């Protein structure tokens, strides 16, 4: 794939026309090679020659995670001999979903991340420390490695965890950038303070932050980003990607959402009735990756709620940007005319360093609307803290949840469930009988 830095600076209508040309190619490819989409086109009487614009896409049914899981093999467009790398994601029905990448797909992935790194200022000759795993069939770590290689940047593959090993490598090799989960940076800071490592004058200038949001819907730093930057004033670039998309949206140094890579993916942002929402409004991200050979998807519903921003960016790129993921569609809470998602509530609770734990519970009340209950614990519970939590929710999110103290032990039992790899801080009881 040729490097494309010209197109992203063309006018938006030119970018759109270019994407539509790629879309027509993609539809032709799917109609010839994809058992799943051949069937969809046939069942719905869709003549792909009549789909010429991004707007025309609405005539094709969307693809869900369940579709990809149930008919996984039918999404493969090439024979097994052509697959170089196998990636998998956890599916909604328990069994992992498999994706196969051809040699060209790996090249496309490298190109995608090369552009991401460029937008955050990584250059040929820079050294970057990779603080995430490359194995276990995850796509991300491999993609970063391939992208840096294509950019001719150096890579230090440390993997996740172990602050001591991370610091040893930083002090010895002096990388300019890191790729890390942002909450792990707090552990790095804590370790550096214990060991009296002068982290603020280290070689690190910026971090590609994966897996967690750094900003709210208006691009203000959330509590996590602020806690890191208060101690360690480095640039934190957010990136959003998934195996299904095979493309990343990575922030430039304007920090106003991740830019589209126009030759790799088409996006739609849709409401509950699958109608497009206006730019700047929240909706579900639906993606059509371009140029994938192995397992290409068409109008795939990500379940992620985002906003698209199309006003010009300070960096000069004309491509639109995708704002932070505000939540998962199935976790949407409707509260007296307000729509909100758990991450915004977690962010707000992170403003209270005195709280040890919190648990958000959503229930349906007798009149069929959602109720929010927040259980909190602290070393010294007080009425004042409880009131401040309530006040902040009313002021910032315009909701009045029930807030109650619980003992630490009681919350820990639910939060650190041995059956779950991740802490459970959100419980949705709306679809159960109690
Ligand atoms: Zn920009």
Query: Which residues make Cβ contacts (< 8 Å) with residue 223, sequence separation at least 6?
Result: 347, 350, 351
Closest CA to 214 of 192, 185, 247: 185
Please name every residue paired with 432 in a beta bridge, in sequence order, or none if there are none: none
Interatomic CA distance for residues 162 and 407, integer angstroms: 31
Please name every residue paired with 276 in a beta bridge, in sequence order, or none if there are none: 270
Q: Report CA-CA distances (Å) from 246 to 70, 85, 393.
A: 20, 13, 37
pLDDT value of position 421: 67
Give the predicted TM-score (pTM) of the model.
Answer: 0.90
Range 307-310 contact pairs with CB under 8 angstroms and sequence separation of 24 or more: 307/217, 307/269, 307/279, 307/280, 307/281, 307/282, 307/283, 308/267, 308/269, 308/279, 308/280, 309/256, 309/257, 309/279, 309/280, 310/12, 310/279
Closest CA to 322 of 337, 305, 336: 305
CA of 257 to the centre of ligand 1 (A): 8
Cα–chain center distance at 432: 28
Inter-axis angle of helices 182-194 and 223-231, nearest 10: 30
pLDDT value of position 265: 98
pLDDT value of position 365: 80
CA of 253 to the centre of ligand 1 (A): 7
Mark 166-177 as b/e (b = at least 16 C-beta within 10 Å): bbebbeeeebbb
Interatomic CA distance for residues 163 and 96, integer angstroms: 30
CA of 12 to the centre of ligand 1 (A): 14
CA of 280 to the centre of ligand 1 (A): 16
Q: Report CA-CA distances (Å) from 318 to 184, 272, 312.
A: 33, 29, 6
Q: 3-state class of 221 per DSSP? A: strand
- Averages of pLDDT over runs of 10 residues in the chain (434 residues) are 72 95 98 98 97 97 96 98 94 82 98 97 98 92 98 97 96 98 94 96 97 92 93 97 96 97 98 96 97 98 97 95 94 86 91 92 84 94 94 92 95 87 86 49
CA of 122 to the centre of ligand 1 (A): 15
The structure tokens listed for 82 are 């052509």
pLDDT value of position 417: 84
pLDDT value of position 359: 96
Cα–chain center distance at 6: 26
CA of 256 to the centre of ligand 1 (A): 7
pLDDT value of position 270: 98
Interatomic CA distance for residues 225 and 213, integer angstroms: 9
CA of 324 to the centre of ligand 1 (A): 14
CA of 312 to the centre of ligand 1 (A): 8
CA of 318 to the centre of ligand 1 (A): 8
Interatomic CA distance for residues 176 and 109, integer angstroms: 23
């Amino acid at each position: 794939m040729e490097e494309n830095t010209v197109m992203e600076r063309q006018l938006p209508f030119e970018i759109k026309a270019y994407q539509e040309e790629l879309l027509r190619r993609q539809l032709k490819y799917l109609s010839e090679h994809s058992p799943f989409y051949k069937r969809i086109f046939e069942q719905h009487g869709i003549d792909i020659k009549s789909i010429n614009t991004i707007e025309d896409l609405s005539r094709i049914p969307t693809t869900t995670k369940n579709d990809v899981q149930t008919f996984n093999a039918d999404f493969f467009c090439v024979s097994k001999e052509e697959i170089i790398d196998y990636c998998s994601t956890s599916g909604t029905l328990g069994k992992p979903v498999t994706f196969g990448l051809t040699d060209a797909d790996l090249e496309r992935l490298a190109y995608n991340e090369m552009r991401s790194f460029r937008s955050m200022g990584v250059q040929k000759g820079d050294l970057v420390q990779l603080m995430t795993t490359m194995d276990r069939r995850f796509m991300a770590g491999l993609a970063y490695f391939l992208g840096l290689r294509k950019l001719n940047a150096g890579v230090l593959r440390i993997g996740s965890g172990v602050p001591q090993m991370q610091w040893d490598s930083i002090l010895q090799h002096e990388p300019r950038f890191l790729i890390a989960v942002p909450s792990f940076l707090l552990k790095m800071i804590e370790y550096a303070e214990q060991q009296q490592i002068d982290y603020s004058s280290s070689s690190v200038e910026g971090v590609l932050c994966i897996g967690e949001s750094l900003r709210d819907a208006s691009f203000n730093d959330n509590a996590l980003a602020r806690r890191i930057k208060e101690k360690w004033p480095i640039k934190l670039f957010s990136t959003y990607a998934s195996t299904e998309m095979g493309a990343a949206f990575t922030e430039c140094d304007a920090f106003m959402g991740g830019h589209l890579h126009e030759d790799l993916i088409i996006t739609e942002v849709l409401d509950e009735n699958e109608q497009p929402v206006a730019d700047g409004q929240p909706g579900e991200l639906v993606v059509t990756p371009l140029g994938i050979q192995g397992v290409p998807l068409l109008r795939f519903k990500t379940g992620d709620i985002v906003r698209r921003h199309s006003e010009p960016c300070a960096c000069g790129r004309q491509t639109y940007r995708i704002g932070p993921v505000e939540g998962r569609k199935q976790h949407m809470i409707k509260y007296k005319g307000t729509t909100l998602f758990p991450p915004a509530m977690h962010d707000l609770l992170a403003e209270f360093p005195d709280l040890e734990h919190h648990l958000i519970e959503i229930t349906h009340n007798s009149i069929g609307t959602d109720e929010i209950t927040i259980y909190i614990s602290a070393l010294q519970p007080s009425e004042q803290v409880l009131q401040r939590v309530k006040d902040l929710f009313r002021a910032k999110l315009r909701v009045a949840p029930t807030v109650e103290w619980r003992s630490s032990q009681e919350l820990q039992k639910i939060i650190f469930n041995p059956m779950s790899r991740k802490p459970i801080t959100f419980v949705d009881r709306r679809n159960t009988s109690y």
